[in-house]
Chains A and B, each alone.
Chain A
Amino acid sequence: MRRMPALLSALIALMLASLTVGAAHVDLRDIFSDDRAMLVLLESRLPRTVAVALTGAALSVAGVLIQALVRNRFVGPDTVGTAEGAALGLLGVTILFPASPLWVRMIAASLAAMVTTWLFLGVIRRLPAREVMLIPIAGLVLSGVLGSVVTFIGWQTDLMQYVGTWLLSGEFSGVIAGRYELLWVAAGAAGLAWFAADRFAILGLGEQVATGLGLSTASVMRLGLAVVSVVTAMVVTTVGMIPFVGLVVPNLVSRVMGDNLRASLPVVALSGAVLVLACDLVGRLVIYPYEVPAGMILGILGAALFLWLLHRRPAHG
């Protein structure tokens, strides 16, 4: 495949660029002679670059999975209530056990995300299969309702600042060494999905075909649900939800190379990393030395890409 080398070079180029851009001047050529430069690189630039790449890759893979689970292309982990669920879990832990360690918060966020995503799957089961657009609408409604619950509780308990960092502005300026490593869990979960890629691809053909081929659809659904929830929860916990990646990247890759997930998931992951890195870089450069959140750049770019997709492919769900 020629795509993988091209994407890999793009990723490496963007990562190198990401290492050099920032308010503090760092010259990669003399990091070994300059202690301060080394410190900035290892404590801030490198963690941030890795965090951005992991987030983009994991969210894109989660997008593919949720789209296979519901057999609909117009959903992503940010539009089906998963992110809001994670925020709800975090909020609950923050209120009930304010001193709880990170791993407790991580588990609470993942479990709550699973519950709300499962709720979404339950809701759409009852929708008529032919109405393709009802599924994304149901997702938007559900995430809207959950989002208001989160906002209400956040408001009442004076935790709106937290809620804002989880759901409103996905951005990476706060990432330093020691505060992003959860994203490796997200990447691990996404990587796990690759081993079941065939199963997800078969599930995408519909429950009937999947059963005919002897696939236990319920267990594949559970695995997908777990991966999507864990990925989203980790992203929400560490950097806040990044919109559109999980929706747009799977669609773009599917257009070009189809839904043979075993072949396409690595491309999806790389493309997601490239897209979010590019957006983060743009966000760091437009009002240099200040920043615009990567999530905002993605919101603009992702919306444009999505409209283009809708325009290009009207009939196929």
Chain B
Amino acid sequence: MIQISNLGHKIGGTQILHDISTSFPKGKLTALIGPNGAGKSTLLRLVGRLEPLQQGAITVAGHDVARTPTADLARVMAILGQQTAVASRLRLCELVAFGRWPHHQGRPRPEDRTKVAQAIDAFALSKLKNRFLDEVSGGQAQRAHIAMAFAQDTEWLLLDEPLNNLDMAHARALMARLRDLVDRQGRSVGLVVHEINYAAAWADHVIAMKDGRIMAEGTPDDVLTEAVLSDLYDAPISVGRHKDRPLVLHHA
């Protein structure tokens, strides 16, 4: 479980998060939703120790994020922030292989090579694996980064807007892959998504945020309702059903 208590955060004098206490359940797929600027990414980045903690406490599977050495945390959780332009010229297979680095510190074992091969395979990168990062499309580079986090093979996997740049087929493939990770391997996943229907279709647990506060949390059926969503986005939103899951529509 990821336990977040009394978390506050300021960036340049502006309060981004207000006294947040919540948890990401173990063995579930948790989706963070909410309008732009709600603080979703900041929350995920704080959990993934990509930003220093200012106020409050976070534990990931019992490890205090503020005090546990970063190298140890890298074996408990993999985090992928939003991708910025990459200046590095690595081959995709080399990038994915770095996902195993927290486990072998430069001396890969056969098991590490297997995991890298599996990750390359799982994200359909076999044909691209010898291309350089600056020679593939944004979506392909994105998939390679996700494959790297996947190869890290940790109890927790945290992804900040992983669906950016991905077409519908690859987005669905990624969600199915994450689902499989949770259902069959007992891993836990947390991700920020913008397209709510991905949360509706695949998540176990949804946390809805607005203005640095948590508006609602619970199962997709509890959170993805017309009342909550219309309030969350300040826009009339209607919710139908499809295959026994909520279907969120913006053309009310």
Shortest distance between the CB of A127 and any CB in chain B (Å): 14
Shortest distance between the CB of B69 and any CB in chain A (Å): 8
Q: Which of A72, A211, A258, A262 contacts B89 (CB 8 A)?
A: A258
Is A201's CB within 8 Å of the partner chain B? Answer: yes
Q: Are A204 and B106 in contact (CB under 8 A)?
A: no
User: In whole angstroms, how far apart are the Cα atoms of A216 and B101 in the complex?
Assistant: 13
- Chain A interface SS verdict (over half): loop
Is B84's CB within 8 Å of the partner chain A? Answer: yes
Q: Which of A198, A204, A208 contacts B87 (CB 8 A)?
A: A204
Q: Are A258 and B91 in contact (CB under 8 A)?
A: yes
Q: Are A202 and B87 in contact (CB under 8 A)?
A: no
Q: Which residue of A lies closest to B97 (CB)?
A: A260
Is B188's CB within 8 Å of the partner chain A? Answer: no
Contacts of B79 in A (CB 8 A): 212
Is A284's CB within 8 Å of the partner chain B? Answer: no
User: In whole angstroms, how far apart are the Cα atoms of A206 and B145 in the complex?
Assistant: 12
Q: Which of A73, A198, A211 contacts B106 (CB 8 A)?
A: A198
Is A205's CB within 8 Å of the partner chain B? Answer: yes
Contacts of A262 in B (CB 8 A): 106
Contacts of B84 in A (CB 8 A): 129, 206, 208
Shortest distance between the CB of A261 and any CB in chain B (Å): 10
Q: Which of A129, A212, A259 contacts B88 (CB 8 A)?
A: A259
Contacts of B48 in A (CB 8 A): 211-212
Contacts of A202 in B (CB 8 A): 98, 101
Is A317's CB within 8 Å of the partner chain B? Answer: yes
Given contacts A208-B50, A316-B134, contact A213 B101 (CB under 8 A): yes
Q: Are A213 and B106 in contact (CB under 8 A)?
A: no
Selecting from B15-23, B70-78, B208-216, B241-249, the interface stretch reads B70-78
Shortest distance between the CB of B221 and any CB in chain A (Å): 33
Q: Are B90 and A213 in contact (CB under 8 A)?
A: no
C-beta contact mask, A198-239 vs B, less than 8 Å → 1, else 0?
Answer: 100110111011011111100000000000000000000000
- Chain B interface SS verdict (over half): mixed
User: In whole angstroms, how far apart are the Cα atoms of A289 and B70 in the complex?
Assistant: 60
Given contacts A204-B88, A317-B85, contact A213 B94 (CB under 8 A): no
Is B152's CB within 8 Å of the partner chain A? Answer: yes
Interface residues on B, range: 20 to 34
Is A71's CB within 8 Å of the partner chain B? Answer: yes
Q: Which of B91, B95, B101 contacts A198 (CB 8 A)?
A: B101
Is B198's CB within 8 Å of the partner chain A? Answer: no
Shortest distance between the CB of A79 and any CB in chain B (Å): 17
Is A169's CB within 8 Å of the partner chain B? Answer: no
Residues of chain B in range 66-124 having any CB-CB distance to chain A below 8 Å: 70-75, 78-81, 84-91, 94-95, 98-99, 101-102, 106
Is B149's CB within 8 Å of the partner chain A? Answer: yes
Q: Which residue of B lies closest to A313 (CB)?
A: B134
Contacts of A259 in B (CB 8 A): 88-90
Contacts of B78 in A (CB 8 A): 212
Q: Are A214 and B71 in contact (CB under 8 A)?
A: yes
Q: Are A205 and B86 in contact (CB under 8 A)?
A: yes
Q: Which of A73, A214, A254 contacts B75 (CB 8 A)?
A: A214
Number of interface residues of A (CB under 8 A): 27
User: In whole angstroms, how far apart are the Cα atoms of A204 and B81 in the complex?
Assistant: 15
Shortest distance between the CB of B140 and any CB in chain A (Å): 16
Is B172's CB within 8 Å of the partner chain A? Answer: no
Is B49's CB within 8 Å of the partner chain A? Answer: yes
Q: Which of A72, A129, A205, A216 contacts B70 (CB 8 A)?
A: A216
User: In whole angstroms, how far apart are the Cα atoms of A214 and B148 in the complex?
Assistant: 13
Shortest distance between the CB of A255 and any CB in chain B (Å): 8
Q: Are A211 and B70 in contact (CB under 8 A)?
A: yes
Q: Which of A206, A255, A260, A317 contacts B91 (CB 8 A)?
A: A260
Shortest distance between the CB of B26 and any CB in chain A (Å): 20
User: In whole angstroms, how far apart are the Cα atoms of A214 and B99 in the complex?
Assistant: 10
Contacts of A205 in B (CB 8 A): 86, 88, 90, 95, 98
Q: Are A317 and B87 in contact (CB under 8 A)?
A: yes
Q: Which of A129, A214, A316 contacts B74 (CB 8 A)?
A: A214
Contacts of A130 in B (CB 8 A): 85
User: Which 9 A-B residue pairings sit nearest by Cβ, starting from the closest?
Assistant: A214-B74, A214-B71, A208-B81, A214-B102, A204-B88, A258-B89, A212-B79, A259-B89, A260-B94
Spell out B's residues near A (CB within 8 Å).
48-50, 70-75, 78-81, 84-91, 94-95, 98-99, 101-102, 106, 132, 134, 145, 148-149, 152
Known: A205-B86, A212-B80, A317-B87. 18 other contacts (CB 8 A): A72-B87, A198-B98, A201-B90, A205-B90, A205-B98, A208-B50, A211-B48, A212-B48, A212-B74, A213-B99, A214-B73, A214-B74, A216-B70, A258-B90, A258-B94, A259-B89, A260-B90, A317-B85
Spell out A's residues near B (CB within 8 Å).
71-73, 129-130, 198, 201-202, 204-206, 208-209, 211-216, 254-255, 258-260, 262, 316-317
Can you give 14 contacting A-B residue pairs, CB < 8 Å? A129-B84, A198-B101, A201-B88, A202-B98, A204-B87, A208-B50, A211-B50, A213-B99, A213-B152, A214-B73, A254-B89, A262-B106, A317-B85, A317-B87
